[in-house]
Structure 1
Amino acid sequence: MNSFADVILPLPLPKPFTYKLSEKESKILKVGFRVAVSFGKRKIYTGIISRIHNDDPINYEVKPIEFIYDSKSIVDQLRIDFWTWMSKYYFSPIGDILKAAVPSTLLLESESIISKIDTSEEEIKNMSDNEYLIYEALEVEDIRIADINLITDRKTVYPIVQKMIQSGYIELKQQIKEKYKPKLVKFIRLTGQLKTRQSTKDFLDDITKYPKQKEILMTILKVDKNKNNWIKLAEIKNQVSFSSSSLKSLERKKIIEIKIFKEDRNIENDFKTKNKIVLSKSQSKVLKQINSEFDNNDVVLLEGVTSSGKTEIYLKIIEKYLHDNKQVLYLLPEISLTTQIIQKLKNSFGNKVSVFHSRNSIHERTEVWRNVEENRKNAQIIIGARSSLFLPFKNLGLIIIDEEHENSYKQQEPSPRYHARDSAIILSRLHKSKIILGSATPSIESSKNARNGKYGWVKLNERYGGIKMPKIETIDIKEEILNDQMNGLFSKKLIDEIGNTLKEKKQVILFRNRRGYASIWMCNTCGYHINCDNCDVTLTFHNVSNNLKCHYCGFTIKTPKICSTCGVESMINKGDGTQQIEESIKEFFPKAKVSRMDWDTTRGKWSFDKIINSFSDNEIDILIGTQMVTKGLDFNNVKLVGVLNTDHFLNFPNFRAHEKAFQVLTQVAGRAGRKETQGKVLLQTYQPNHPIIQYVINNDYKSMFEAQLVERIEYKYPPHVRLIKLTIKDKSHDKVNIACEWLNKMMRRSYKGDILGPVYPEISRVRNKYQKQFIIKLKNIDSINQFRSILNKTLISFDSISKYRSVRVIVDVDPL
């Protein structure tokens, strides 16, 4: 009987493809093995086996597997089940999930290379100039097709290559190259001949004529007192400079051994734990409640006010799971948060902690992935952003989702568009592990699940050390303008409070959720403003680079001084951003040390760390930032937080706008007064009596939740219903409209529930593609399954229509 393997390929394909196995392969291979397979005419891809069976496919010719990479599975059945669930629930091709889940270093692809075929002198003379240039270059080595344009200086090279193949001058091959490069470190140690004091003295006498060799030996003896440990060569070089010839001479004399070892990047093997975790009475009480809730619930919501010490409770719970030799996943919404949390975890658990996020190199991520797969001690605790959910855990006991309300847990682009919090709950079920959702301002969905008894629910209502919650006040911008108390973006009261705070040697955080200098660059004479060439948005002025940039597609131009419409030199900026705030603050407080934390200042790998550590060490007096500064950061010396534009969140056209406004304002307020003295928060607003602002002032999450729940039920929004958003995109405005008409007609014919749209979103063109959207409201699991079936059939029919081939349909389940 023939054996076959279904292989998941790293391509946007809706299902795995089937390959034939030899008798030998069928005995070796299992689910989770990594194999190389041919797909298409020549291309070879690395895939993962998801199923082995005896069902011969009917619709296509079955190809054999090219070769097997590993001697064992790199993912298990549980992981395949998780990918399958995610593919089905989020309408994502299983290949997209594979690409997100497995490092690219392990998903090797072949690339096309050409090599020369020996030909006669006569045929060489008949070659064109470009053919001869290519043939001559092949005398040295085989060349990638992608590099041929460098030889010919032509953009289009495929016609030349095709003609040379047909003429028999060259042949096309597929080559797979290893992407992962291990870190190789040179170590040295003394040989066994130097174990006694006398033998050491004899060797020192022998090399007296060679002072540099003697200096090297003395340094090794100083560093390695046991005389048998491997020492990094770099450590010796830090203490004494020498040439490689001196080192080789010592090796020839058999005084030292030299060996190269593989070493994980960014691993601190000698990290010593410093802190014993000590909880307050209220924290200890909450810890007992969580453990008690775990007896009946797999998911527990920890609702604790800002600065209540939730992290310390997490550490104590982690301690228990490590004692049971379980793995722990600690999820954070932003990379910026990892700096402080990593330090806390390493202070408590030493080198059992590994970090996994996109700021690390692909080689670093591959090493962590491998360490988790092999269940090594240095990867017992994983801290990372949402992508760490895909790591191949073998013995996962606990998942902690800190700041569970954060929108950053939802993947937007590219596919799969999953929510890490919701996916983590499914993953914990598969692993039969526990999960803690932590937040001072939980999402409406999580709060409802806790109140309904679906989740366990524990509350922590006081700050650590008995510190009072910050005093929150509003500044009515309308009144400030009438009384001539506004100076640019700042009210007199805010400026005075900043000055008083600086006099007390305390720190200030200023929050404005808009980067750049100004949002509009316009002509003061005719009113013309400069838009992006690819998107329906204005370009943002950045004064540091003197450029206008689009924050959606990256389009950039130099800032013009003369209006292209009326020809007058009267271009000005309108609006504000973090760069302008930084400039203004430096004018108000020239002696203050001011820094900015936004996307523009944190692009480097260690940028977050440098800014956060500088602020923690009181090297910065005033920190200006976007939402990055609101997310769970812990600073001891911040007394004042100023929100420059509170209304930006309140007026956003989204059903979650008020929930989000409450969360952001409460979180940023929570950065103030975390140690010793009560903090102060000033909210500049045109709507001081807005209900959400009053809820924030009174720290009244309960009233906000109840008010939002009434609205959501009335207007049919989550958590009362589930949503699916369809976005239809194409370069042609007319084609988008025609495609939407067809989809609208087909969906309404089959589905009798609520379908909103199609409508243009706030920004109707992004990256030179027009877009329209549908929102589908689904009441329960039955309607979700019903619509999933309808949508799958509709999209299959849609894809089969030739005139819609260029139209892209994006399915977003549970959109924000």
Structure 2
Amino acid sequence: MIVDVYLDKALPQIDQLYSYAYGGEDAAIVGKRVIVPFGRGNKPETAVVLRIGKDEGKKLKSVIQVLDRRPILTESAIALGMKMREIFVTSYVQAFQPLLPKYVLGGVEEVAVKLIDDEEVAGIFQGAEALATEKIPTDKLDRLIEAKKVAVRFRGTQPVKKRVVEKYVASGDYDGPMTEKQALVFDLLKNSPPLSKAEITKRTGLSTSPVDSLIKRGAVAPADPDAAIPDRAPVLRKDQVAAIEGIAESKRPVHLLYGKTGSGKTEVYMQLAQRAMDEGKSSLIIVPEIGLATQMVHRLSARFPGKVDILHSRRSEGEKAAAWIRLKEEPGRIVVGARSAVFSPVPELGYIFIDEEQEESYDYREGLRYNVRDVAEMRVRFEGGKVVYGSATPSVITYARCGEDVELHRLVGDPKKTEASPVEIVDMREELFKGNVEILSERMVEGLEEALKAKKQAILFINRRGYSQFVSCRSCGHVIECDACDISMVYHRRTHRLHCHYCGRTKPMPRTCPVCGSEYLKQFGIGTEQVESWIKNKFPEARVYRMDKDTMAQKGNYEKVYEAMNEKKVDILVGTQMLAKGFDFENVVFVGVVAADLSLFVSDYKAQEKTYQLLTQVAGRAGRGKHKGRAVIQTYNPDNYSIQYAKERSYEPFFHREMEERKRFLYPPYVHLVKIHIRGTGDVDQVALNWKKTLEAINKHEQFDMLVANPVEQPKIKNKRHVSILAKVWPKEFRPLLKALKRVLMYYYRTQAEKEITISIEIDG
């Protein structure tokens, strides 16, 4: 038998499948990890079998060892990886790494788990509940599996650090086989409140081994500390029932749940997830920010105790591996996480819910440049299940698909509870005429004063962190830039240093201009740090918190801020766009947007859309509870259509105006944008010119009607120059272009003379 494998090597020059001879009789080898000899020195490398190969009569090296008894990648996962490689024009390694991340490849092993504790089994396991399969002879293990005395499971090899004393609950629907000791533990947890391991061992007189085994199987799960009081589903409104039934009964795989802020979209997710759970299927709930995962987990754990897992980059490697194993082994769970949770290895997929689907954070721009929406839709087409997008401000591209391949469901909300908070626009030019040169307008200060006087909370939003945005010399005009990037450095008052927000470098704030020696250095622009400082000076009695990338860098800080807001320990919360994305604090009655113009004048065809969405989302944080709220938006461009429509929360008029603009200037969804990025330290200009000629040659040869722009110099980042080339291509020509680009890219990497230059392709970015 011939098998084709991929190696986890991030070298584009070897981006291909390698064929090996396999002398075993395992017809189900596809999806398993193997050890193969690689390169001239035949160095043993771990690889994954992706398919059965063709025997072309060539002499091949042989597979040394098969590591897994069960496939670690399912057929649908392999199909997804192959499709991502094609659609996102990328390598095998980048396409499969999210499906088999490092914490799985290097942190998960196969073990045999006892099902029956008879004399034969006891002699092999020597008191252990589980044993690595490699420690049991193959023929003996086969016989024990066939006799149903043991089962093969995955186990994490890295320790999971416990932050608190964890308590456990029995999974109500688990009915798998158990040893006598395990059954004793399971029955105890089934008929008692959550217990810690110490409490379990004290009550049963057993060791922790049966508990650990039950946890690995998913029969016992950690209890959420905030889920002591179970949450019951509320009485649903007619529009929620209609949406739930419409999505559940529909034959279409992709749905948009469109409802204004506070209209109950999360309850629809939970009701549909319950239906999936009743059928033994799992659901994924994807949120745009890690901080929102905490809020979502609190709600879900109260409704589904012991059934919720969390997956995101701030979890430890051991925690992620443990969650990965639970998801793979036990159907009927709910996964909450940020972007990468879309790759969760659930055995039976019910739903993928993508909350705040319009968010740009769902577009990953490093390594595998993927879009979460595309991945989700690929998954349900391979595995079954449905994608549900949820948003109060859907992306223009998604909304344009409604009626064609996306089914639209509207939530109108409860008119008594979802009355929108009034939004006031303040023209900052008039503030200047009145002599107010402060950061906040008079109306903004009044709003804060009223909230503080009423013992309520306020949120101030500015989409830039730091104290000032750049430092310039007023004598010669020199702007201090990063030594490694063509980007102005941002002054941070807390560290009294200049920071580069692209590469992370810092340097001391100079006393004099490095060019002319003048002492007239001035900080321009404002950020969250300066707004926080201004507020503390203006309202010294107020408890002010800041929420941005700087303050949230430490693990657990999201949870701390979330809890502090809910416990009313914060009066004013200042932050960046992470505040806009779904945070639900019922005591917030005032929201202020300090500078609505920051997202307007950027080189991005989505600038108006992002501004509308951001302002609408931020304003929606006010008046979420019983108390009426209001919002104030400061701007120097009050007549801009995105700001005006955001004030009125008029999505459909905005959508139609935006579609007119995109049709006029040829932007998605009318065309696809294909951008080629050339980065490196070599002759970037020549490589860029060659790629432009290549695009023009493809255009002519394939008789496309593609528009190819000239190469554009982008800011240097981390001492690497960056040039991009933009092509606009019609939908019918899009797939043929991607195939042609993939062939060219493979040829480039195998023949390139400039080893220090990398090429990446971005779609509709």
TM-score higher than 0.5 here? yes
| 1:457-536 map, 5 Å | 457-463=408-414, 465-487=416-438, 489-536=439-486
How far 1:771 sits from its partner (Å)? 1.2
- 1:215 is aligned to none
Q: Does 1:180 align with 2:157?
A: yes
Letter in 2 for 1:611: V
Query: Who is 1:8 aligned against?
Result: 6
**Structure 2 counterpart of 1:332, from 275, 279, 287:** 287
What is the match of residue 725 of structure 2? 774
CA contact (8 A) 1:755 1:774 kept: no
Partner of 1:290: 246
**Is the 8 Å Cα contact of residues 692 and 711 (structure 2) preserved in structure 1?**
no
1:558-614 Cα deviation digits (max 9, x unpaired): 222233223344433211111111000000000000000000011122110101111
CA contact (8 A) 1:467 1:677 kept: no
C-alpha contact 1:740 1:758 (8 A) present in aligned 2: no
Normalised by the size of structure 1, how large is the TM-score? 0.79
Alignment partners' CA distance in 2, 1:722 and 1:533: 36
Deviation at 1:463, TM superposition (A): 4.9
Answering whether residue 381 of structure 2 is matched by residue 429 of structure 1, we say yes
Aligned partners of 1:798 and 1:395: how far apart in 2?
A: 40
Distance in 2, matches of 1:231 and 1:742, equals: 64
Report the Cα offset of residue 804 of structure 1. Answer: 2.9
CA deviations over 1:137-176 (Å, ceiling 9, x no partner): xxxxxxxxxxxxxxxxxxxxxxxxxxxxxxxxxxxxxxxx
Question: What is the aligned counterpart of 1:788 among 706, 720, 738?
Answer: 738
- Does structure 2 conserve the Cα–Cα contact (< 8 Å) formed by 1:274 and 1:347? yes
Partners of 1:407 and 1:231 in 2: CA distance: 41
Are the equivalent residues in 1 in contact too, given 2:339–2:362 (CA < 8 A)? yes
Q: Any conservation in 2 of the 1:273–1:350 contact (CA below 8 Å)?
A: no
Instruction: Give me the whole-angstrom Cα distance separating, in 1, the residues matched to 2:569 and 2:94.
Output: 44
Q: 1:289 Cα deviation (Å)?
A: 5.3
Structure 1 residues 673-695: Cα deviation after superposition (integer angstroms, max 9, x where no partner): 11123321111111111111110
Distance in 2 separating the partners of 1:564 and 1:791? 45
Displacement of 1:234 after TM fit? 8.2
Q: How does 1:382-393 map to 2 (within 5 A)?
A: 382-393=335-346
The 5-angstrom pairing of residues 331-730 of structure 1 reads 331-376=286-331, 380-413=333-366, 415-450=367-402, 452-463=403-414, 465-487=416-438, 489-730=439-680
Partner of 1:209: none
Task: Please say if residues 8 and 98 of structure 1, whose CA atoms lie closer than 8 Å, have aligned partners that are also in contact.
Answer: no
Q: Is the 8 A contact 1:695 1:703 kept in 2?
A: yes
CA distance in 2, matches of 1:337, 1:659: 22
- 1:484 deviates by 0.9
Taking the aligned partners of 1:385 and 1:348, their CA distance within structure 2 comes to 20
Are the equivalent residues in 2 in contact too, given 1:275–1:347 (CA < 8 A)?
yes
CA 1:388–1:720: 2 relative to 1, 3 Å? same
Question: For residue 190 of structure 1, what is the aligned residue in structure 2?
Answer: none
Q: Which residue of 2 aligns with 1:745?
A: 693
1:721, 1:688 → 2: CA distance? 30
Q: Do the aligned partners of residues 599 and 801 (structure 1) sit closer, same or farther apart at CA in structure 2, a change above 3 Å counting?
A: same
Q: Residue 513 of structure 1: CA displacement?
A: 0.5
Q: Do the aligned partners of residues 273 and 322 (structure 1) sit closer, same or farther apart at CA in structure 2, a change above 3 Å counting? A: farther
Question: In the TM superposition, what whole-angstrom CA distance separates every residue of 1:322-376 from its partner, at most 9, and x where no partner exists?
Answer: 1111111111111111111101101111111111111111111111111111125
Matching of residue 760 in structure 1 with residue 716 in structure 2: no
Q: Give the aligned partner of residue 142 of structure 2.
A: none
Deviation at 1:494, TM superposition (A): 1.0
Shift of 1:541: 0.8
Matches within 5 A, 1:8-407: 8-12=6-10, 13-22=14-23, 25-27=24-26, 29-40=28-39, 41=41, 43-56=43-56, 58=58, 62-108=60-106, 180-183=157-160, 232-233=197-198, 258-260=207-209, 262=212, 267-269=221-223, 274-288=230-244, 290-291=246-247, 294-376=249-331, 380-407=333-360
Alpha carbons 1:645, 1:683 under 8 Å: kept: yes
- Write the distance in 1 (CA, Å) between the matches of 2:574 and 2:8: 41
Deviation at 1:80, TM superposition (A): 0.4
* Runs of 5+ unmatched residues, structure 1: 110-177, 188-222, 240-254
Instruction: Report the equivalent of 2:117.
Output: none
After superposition, what is the alpha-carbon deviation per residue over 1:531-578, rounded to whole angstroms, capped at 9, x for unaligned?
A: 101111111111111111110011111222233223344433211111
The one-character-per-residue Cα deviations of 1:702-741 (angstroms, maximum 9, x if unpaired) are 1111011112122221111122110011214xx1111111
TM value normalised by structure 2:
0.84
Whole-angstrom distance in 2 between the partners of 1:234 and 1:521: 59
Separation in 2, partners of 1:799, 1:534: 26
Partner letter of residue 355 of structure 2? D
Distance, in Å, in 2 between the alignment partners of 1:282 and 1:230 is 40
| Structure 2 equivalent of residue 130 of structure 1 | none
What SS does the corresponding residue of 2:574 show, helix, strand or coil? strand
Q: Which amino acid aligns with 1:765?
A: K
Distance 2:671 2:385 in 1: 28
Assess, with a 3 A threshold, how the Cα gap between structure 1 residues 431 and 568 changes in structure 2: closer, same or farther. same
Q: Secondary structure at the match of 2:673?
A: strand
The 1:230–1:618 alpha-carbon spacing in structure 2 relative to 1, beyond 3 Å, is closer
Kindly state the Cα deviation for residue 44 of structure 1 after the two structures are TM-superposed: 3.4
AA matched with 2:359: E
Among all aligned residue pairs of Structure 1 and Structure 2, give the percentage whose two residues are the same amino acid.
Answer: 30
Structure 1 Cα separation of the partners of residues 535 and 221 of structure 2? 40
* Whole-Å separation in 1 of the counterparts to 2:656 and 2:761: 30
Deviations 1:595-637 (A, max 9, x none): 0000001112211010111112110000000000000110101
| 2:158 aligned partner, one-letter code | K
1:44 corresponds to which letter in structure 2?
A: P
Give how far 1:62 is off.
2.7
Aligned residue identity for 2:458: V
- Residue 797 of structure 1 deviates from its aligned partner by 4.2
Instruction: Determine the structure 2 residue equivalent to 1:806.
Output: 756
Residue 233 of structure 1: how far off its partner (Å)? 3.7
Q: What amino acid does structure 2 have at the position aligned with 1:180? A: T
Secondary structure of the 1:350 match is coil
SS in 2 for 1:11: coil
Whole-angstrom CA distance in 2 between matches of 1:691 and 1:325: 48
In structure 1, C-alpha distance between the alignment counterparts of 2:195 and 2:502, rounded to whole Å: 52
- Size of the aligned set, in residue pairs, is 679
Q: Alpha-carbon deviation of 1:802? A: 4.5
Paired with 1:794 and 1:54, the residues of 2 have a C-alpha distance of 25
The 1:462/1:517 distance shift into structure 2, 3 A limit, reads same
SS in 1 for 2:306: helix
Contact 1:662 1:696 (8 Å CA) reproduced? yes
Residues of 1 paired with 2:567 and 2:196: CA distance? Answer: 34
What is the identity, as a one-letter code, of the residue corresponding to 2:365?
Q
Q: Kindly state the Cα deviation for residue 288 of structure 1 after the two structures are TM-superposed.
A: 4.8
Partner Cα separation in structure 2 for residue 505 and residue 230 of structure 1:
39
Amino acid at match of 1:780: P
What value does the CA root-mean-square deviation take over the aligned residues? 2.9
How many Å separate the matches in 2 of 1:658 and 1:635? 27
Counterpart residue type for residue 407 of structure 1: E
Cα distance in 2 for residues equivalent to 1:521 and 1:234: 59
Deviations 1:488-510 (A, max 9, x none): x1112211221111101111110
Give the residue type in structure 1 aligned to 2:71: S
Q: Aligned partners of 2:744, 2:101: CA distance in 1, in Å?
A: 33
Whole-angstrom distance in 1 between the partners of 2:250 and 2:156: 46
Deviation at 1:53, TM superposition (A): 3.5
Q: Distance in 2 between matches of 1:288 and 1:612?
A: 29
Unaligned 5+ runs, structure 2? 108-154, 167-187
Quick one: distance in 2 between partners of 1:768 and 1:314? 45
1:355 is aligned with what amino acid? Answer: I
Is the contact between residue 37 and residue 65 of structure 1 (CA under 8 Å) also seen in structure 2?
A: yes
